[in-house]
Amino acid sequence: MNTHGFTLIEWLVYFFLIITVLTGIFHFVATTQQQVIKLGKGSRMISQLSAAQDLLARDISSSPAMQNQWEQIGPDVLSWKQGDEKISWSLQKKNLYRTKTGSRKAVVACGLSRAEFVPQFGPNNTVRSITCILETETCSLERIVSLQNRVIV
């Protein structure tokens, strides 16, 4: 019997037990960190889409209801005249842009896979509402903006 410390076999058993426990802990921490990073990216993307939807809804709700004042209502482009200004929204190369007469083109959202604007027309050549769909690979937001009673749903 060894009374002066550990034997080589005891030391190797303890060593492998500690290595096994530390490997499990490291794997858990690494996996958790990856999930937190992924959730953070998704959360930022939803916040970005929500902010873009808010700005878009504000612009549309103050736009003219008469169809002849709209220059373009297409699947991925909105463009209208409001007084002397022209306001347009468009999806180009996965970026959503807002352009206003007299100011620079502004990137409102990045990394979009789809931006779709679907109008509903009313009587007397009016635009009743526009459904705005903004979509990335991980999430999608849809909002209906009414032009007749200025309601955002």
* Four-residue CA torsion sign, 103, 108, 110, 116: negative
- pLDDT tens digits for 94-132? 999 999 887 888 888 888 898 888 888 888 888 888 888
CB count within 10 Å of CB 3 equals: 4
State both tokens at 116. 């779709």
- CA distance linking residue 55 with residue 130, whole number of Å: 14
- CA distance linking residue 51 with residue 134, whole number of Å: 11
Give the DSSP H/E element, type plus range, for residue 48. Answer: helix 8-61
> For the whole model, what pTM was predicted?
0.70
Question: For the chain, which ranges sit under pLDDT 50?
Answer: 151, 153
The per-residue pLDDT for 67 is 83
Place of tokens 């549309």: 60
DSSP symbol at 67: G
